[in-house]
Amino acid sequence: MSTLSSLDASEQSASPLSKKDRILFLDAVRGIAVLGILLMNSMAQGQPHIFYAFLNLDQPIFGKNYYAWVLEMGFFEGTMRGLFSILFGAGTILFINRLEHNRGHLDAADIYYRRILWLLVFGLINAFIFFWPGDILYSYALCGLVLFPFRKLSANRLLLCSLFLLLIGTYRETSSLYARKEIITKGKKVELLQKEHKKITDEQKGELEKWQKFRDKNNSAGMMKDAKEEFKTIKTSNYSQLFGFYRDVNMELQSIGFYNGWWDMLMFFFIGMAFIKSGFLMGSKPLWLYIIGAVLGIGIGVAFNFMGIKEMYAAKFDMVKLTESAPAELYQVRRLLQTFGYLCLLILLYKITPFKKLLHIFVPVGQMAFTNYLSQSIIMSTIFLAMGWFGQLQRYQIYEVVLGVWIFQIVFSTIWLKYFLFGPFEWLWRSLTYVKWQPIKKVRLDVQAQSTSATVAGL
């Protein structure tokens, strides 16, 4: 087989891990996470993106739609991405350690950064070609560029880095909340002055204009107006026009959007690195620690979610009212607790044989997580954009599509890995990383060449 270019004769670190070295639990969690990510992403792929977190007021907001929304926002929002990010951080440590053991520090850095830069390219393709503005690969790659120097830090220091990032994120998001509150407060004061027929200054006119723009865009009517405009744009556009639409959206998300939320991913990456170093991720800590983590993490996270759900529903998703009533922005704290709780629960379940066998169903999905993540964008873009289903389904009906994709990816991943070492996108990414075409077919069972995780986590 021809090569992209020649490397040293030794390709030991490019060869797949043997079955005895597999960390199947990590694969299972990664598989669950990538399927859970589709559940969330589908809400912005099959309908205007504003309905990712809100119900469509032009559709029934009770019955099946309501329960689908409660399920999503109460139990899944942010947590699947959190698990995926933890696995990315953990996988990064395993990948770099293996490289340094087999190749040395210099080659390890060369291969790692080449891999991350190709991940960035795949993220751009996913966003601009496959039309998924919610892509995480691009942001993962940018944050991944800074992980290598942190690889030698102890678990405790990595957790301190995570805590620092949590504080930064919470402070910035709460500051942004109070900036919006200030717009509302000042704008309403000027409105009151106008009603009293008092003269207002140029500065007050500016405050009034800023408030009116904020109100018109963020109240229920403004939300529905933007959604209808997005629906019309997508339904009446050809591929070239869709490219222009998503190009503008992605350019903003991958610049301003990334700048306003980089700590989100990096925080979970450091947690994953710490958990794999400490052995926590492999279930080596006392059982009581996982039980307490699961009970408190899930309990507090879900309770916090349901308070927010109740407020959103009562306000008919009017962000002006929700901004006025919110005392602080604790999204990252809630998300961290709930994600940690789910991780503890999965570790506990993996210690119980029947549940362990059940979780192994997701192992092939996790081993092909990179392929499955990218193919989700392809499948959903085909269904909702190419086939014209965008905005045609109610929320619960989109979940039915998701269920079909889940079944397909579980079956496809299981069958594919019976005959191949890697998923197709894992193989391509791996070949580009090592600048050499990698073997993909399984040759003989007695060779015991099992597929590696080869996911966005870097295994």
Q: What is the pLDDT of residues 196-245, one digit of tens each?
A: 888 889 899 999 999 999 999 999 999 999 999 999 999 998 889 999 99
Amino acid at 344: C
Q: What is the pLDDT of residues 78-99, one digit of tens each?
A: 999 999 999 999 999 999 999 9
How confident is the prediction for the chain on average, in pLDDT? 89
- Round to whole Å and give the CA distance between 451 and 16: 6
Q: What is the pLDDT of residues 115-174, one digit of tens each?
A: 999 999 999 999 999 999 889 999 999 999 999 999 999 999 999 999 999 999 999 999
Q: What is the pLDDT of residues 64-83, one digit of tens each?
A: 999 999 999 999 999 999 99
Asked whether the beta carbons of 307 and 322 are under 8 A apart, the reply is no
Which single residue is written with the structure tokens 């349901």?
A: 306
Could you state, in order of their start, the residue ranges of all structural domains in the chain? 12-447
Which residues, listed in sequence order, are joined to residue 201 by a DSSP beta bridge?
Answer: none
SS (H, E, C) the chain: CCCCCCCCCCCHHHCCCEHHHCCHHHHHHHHHHHHHHHHHHHHHHCCCHHHHCCCCCCCCCCHHHHHHHHHHHHHHCCHHHHHHHHHHHHHHHHHHHHHHHHHCHHHHHHHHHHHHHHHHHHHHHHHHCCCCCCCCHHHHHHHHCCCHHHCCCCHHHHHHHHHHHHHHHHHHHHHHHHHHHHHHHHHHHHHHHHHCCCCCCHHHHHHHHHHHHHHHHHCHHHHHHHHHHHHHHHHCCCHHHHHHHHHHHHHHHHHHHHHCCHHHHHHHHHHHHHHHHHCHHHCCCCHHHHHHHHHHHHHHHHHHHHHHHHHHHHCCCCHHHHHHHCCCCCHHHHHHHHHHHHHHHHHHHHCCHHHHHHHHHHHHHHHCHHHHHHHHHHHHHHHHHHCCCCCCCCHHHHHHHHHHHHHHHHHHHHHHHHHECCCHHHHHHHHHHHCCCCCCECCCHHHCECCCCCCCCCC
pLDDT band at 444 (very low <50, low <70, confident <90, very high): low
Which single residue is written with the structure tokens 């794999």?
A: 276
What confidence score (pLDDT) does residue 104 get?
A: 79
Q: What is the pLDDT of residues 358-396, one digit of tens each?
A: 999 999 999 999 999 999 999 999 999 999 999 999 999
Label residues 289-308 b or e (16+ Cβ within 10 Å = b).
ebeebbeebbebbbebbeeb
- Give me the helix-helix angle, 202-218 and 220-235, nearest 10°: 60
Which pTM value belongs to this model? 0.89
What confidence score (pLDDT) does residue 19 get?
A: 42
Q: What is the pLDDT of residues 302-314, one digit of tens each?
A: 999 999 999 999 9
What confidence score (pLDDT) does residue 68 get?
A: 94
What confidence score (pLDDT) does residue 3 get?
A: 36
Label residues 231-253 b or e (16+ Cβ within 10 Å = b).
beebeeeeeeebeebbeebbeeb
- Round to whole Å and give the CA distance between 84 and 61: 30
